[in-house]
């Protein structure tokens, strides 16, 4: 499947939950933009975009099962759910494993082991910072300690700049 076909599948899977759909679309847009600006190779860009689309796949289940979307539960459930979700999407085993790894680690900021992982974390943070109105201290800390890409930093500053002045 193409990125767009997987996007359609994920939107259908989200079953009318506009909050979840809006979030995944935003994270995908930031991830795609940062990935292209950073010059990722096409294989890594593809993995990044599929991970961005599916990263919060376990959110609805975790809200139901644990009454929250706590990071750890969501990561564990997400690995199993995204593997099932992508089973008929035509990806090879290596691609599915990498996407599942990223979904399973997107709240874990230690041990970032590739540009797909790095950019997914950055894109999700930018979306969450604007959705949840993160403080200047939180944003400065993330920008200094976690962010690595110049385009991610520029985007975060541009998105949050007005809110921070």
Residues near Fe ion (CB under 5 A) are 56, 124
Residue closer to Fe ion (CB basis): 39 or 53: 53
Cα–Cα distance measured from residue 15 to residue 18, given in angstroms and rounded to the nearest whole number: 9
Shortest distance (Å) from residue 131 CB to Fe ion: 9
Contact criterion met (CB below 8 Å) for 152 and 124: no
The CA-based angle 108-114-120, given to 5 degrees, is 55
Nearer to Fe ion, 19 or 65 (CB): 19
Q: How far is the CB of 54 from Fe ion (least distance, A)?
A: 10
Cβ proximity to Fe ion: between 26 and 98 the closer is 26
Give min distance, CB of 114 to Fe ion, in A. Answer: 18
Q: Residue 30 and residue 131: Cα distance in Å, rounded?
A: 14
Distance, CA of 108 to CA of 9 (rounded, Å)? 26
């Amino acid at each position: 499947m193409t990125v767009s076909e997987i996007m359609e599948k994920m939107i259908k899977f989200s079953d009318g939950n506009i909050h979840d759909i809006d979030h995944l679309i935003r994270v995908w847009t930031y991830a795609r933009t940062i990935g292209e600006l950073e010059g990722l190779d096409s294989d890594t860009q593809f993995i990044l975009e599929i991970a961005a689309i599916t990263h919060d796949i376990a959110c609805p289940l975790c809200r139901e099962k644990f009454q929250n979307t706590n990071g750890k539960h969501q990561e564990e459930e997400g690995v199993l759910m995204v593997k099932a979700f992508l089973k008929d999407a035509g990806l090879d085993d290596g691609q599915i494993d990498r996407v599942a790894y990223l979904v399973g680690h997107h709240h874990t900021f230690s041990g970032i082991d590739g540009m797909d992982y790095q950019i997914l974390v950055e894109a999700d943070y930018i979306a969450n910072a604007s959705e949840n109105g993160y403080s200047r201290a939180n944003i400065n800390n993330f920008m200094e300690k976690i962010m690595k890409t110049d385009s991610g930093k520029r985007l975060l500053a541009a998105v949050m700049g007005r809110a921070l002045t």
